[in-house]
Amino acid sequence: MVNNGILILFDIDGTLVLGARCHYKAFVEAIKKFYGMEDDISGINYAGKTDPQILREVLRLGGLNEEEIEENFQVCLDFMAHYYLKNVNHENVRSLEGVNDLLKELQRRKVLLGLVTGNLESIAYAKLGKVGLDGYFPFGGFGSDHSNRSFLVKKALKQAQNQYGYNGKHTFVIGDTPRDIKAAKASNLLTIGVATGRYSKEELENCGADYVLNNLKNKDKILEILYK
């Protein structure tokens, strides 16, 4: 794949799309099935966390020890993915304003696009597929690769270099939470925070985002940042 020396790694929830009812249900059903826990997973703030990280925190909060958690951990994640794919038709996902236009333009300019998301890989692509965005992202780091988000950034970057011939220095991570920004900063990447999730522009600025936007609607502004 030809690329123009710019790589952008996008977060999914709160950045490209909103709506994760089915994803949420997958957690609830999986926890019930494998751990016998009735939990609505409202006890933790899961913004920017990976699926395995969320699962582990919910189970710990429910009083399970590490051994008990480990016993069914992988089958529980596998079930979540299975449940999601089976029920994705009911997912209430929609793409955020400006996203379709922006991705089209970036693709036209041969900007290399990847994902960094806490979603399990199959959930990520099914969710994006529901709004026709899956085809823009040939690779990425996913919750199914590792529970630590900064590893996902490193994985995606390595893939860009090894599989897509990316050797540029202009790598941006775009996300809606302080966790996106921090994970990117661990690899010294440039960051664009978007206030379309649950964090304000101010909060994203305070955690060290290089640029902060209200949303992804202003294509010209984003291109200006990328080509600076």
Subset of 13-32 contacting Mg ion (CB under 5 A) = 13-14
Q: Please identify, among the stretches 4-12, 60-68, 77-85, 133-141, the one whose residues bind Mg ion according to the rule CB under 5 A.
A: 4-12
Helix axes 51-61, 21-35, angle to 10 degrees: 50
Strand residue runs (E) in the chain = 6-10, 17-18, 94-95, 112-116, 140-141, 170-175, 190-194, 211-213
Q: Are 205 and 91 in contact (CB under 8 A)?
A: no
The CB-of-16 to Mg ion minimum distance in angstroms stands at: 9
Subset of 110-139 contacting Mg ion (CB under 5 A) = none
Q: With respect to Mg ion, which residue has the nearer C-beta, 11 or 51? A: 11
User: Which residues have a Cβ under 8 Å from the Cβ of 35 and sit 6 or more positions away?
Assistant: 59, 62, 64, 68, 72, 76
Q: With respect to Mg ion, which residue has the nearer C-beta, 110 or 198? A: 198
11 binds Mg ion (CB under 5 A): yes
176 binds Mg ion (CB under 5 A): yes
Q: Please identify, among the stretches 5-13, 54-62, 92-100, 157-165, the one whose residues bind Mg ion according to the rule CB under 5 A.
A: 5-13
145 binds Mg ion (CB under 5 A): no
Subset of 38-97 contacting Mg ion (CB under 5 A) = none
Give 55's Cβ-side CA count (13 Å radius): 36
Contacting residues toward Mg ion, per CB under 5 A: 11, 13-14, 176
